[in-house]
Amino acid sequence: MTGRTAERTAARQQPAEAAYQELRTEFEFELPLGYVDPAGKVHRRGTMRLATARDELAPLIDQRVKENPAYLGVVLLSLVITRLGDLREVYPDVVEQFFAADVAYLQDFYERVNNVDPLGPGAGDRLGEY
């Protein structure tokens, strides 16, 4: 490889590597009300990761979703919330206990994080504005 060809190859790889390094896969949130655990402790701050294709497909084979399609949101949120307060895992039965205002907030947050929102491409990059 000539010096010039190597320079061009390196120049093409740098933006791709930079984009990969800048990719955010987890986003912090704070629930408007918070989840109250059985001990009475309120958990408000958490993190949500980007959804994968598997995350969006997995609930479709869940028996609870088959019986009640509205349950899809509960299962999906439990898959992408990586932390909530002291909780290291958030199961569907925990999401079931969220206040309706918190579920609505998380559904909106999910859409913004995964760029499904009317703000268009790059909306996830602007999450700090919310």
pLDDT digits (tens, 9 = 90+) for 52-107: 999 999 999 999 999 999 999 999 999 999 999 999 899 999 999 999 999 999 99
In a domain, 7, yes or no: no
In a domain, 80, yes or no: yes
Structural domain harbouring 48 = 25-129
Quote the CA–CA distance of 47 and 101 in Å, as a whole number: 17
State yes or no: pLDDT of 4 exceeds 70.
no
Partners of 127 in the β-ladder: none
In a domain, 60, yes or no: yes
pLDDT at 115: 78
Quote the CA–CA distance of 84 and 63 in Å, as a whole number: 25
pLDDT at 88: 83
In a domain, 1, yes or no: no
Per-residue pLDDT band at 23 (split at 50, 70, 90): confident
In a domain, 46, yes or no: yes
pTM: 0.72
State yes or no: pLDDT of 123 exceeds 60.
no
Q: Which helix (H) or strand (E) holds 127?
A: none
Quote the CA–CA distance of 39 and 37 in Å, as a whole number: 5
Name the residue with higher pLDDT: 83 or 117: 83
pLDDT > 90: percent of the chain: 68
**Number of separate domains in the chain:** 1
In a domain, 10, yes or no: no
In a domain, 13, yes or no: no
In a domain, 9, yes or no: no
Name the residue with higher pLDDT: 110 or 128: 110
Cβ atoms of 46 and 84 closer than 8 Å: yes
- The end-to-end CA distance of the chain, in Å, is 49
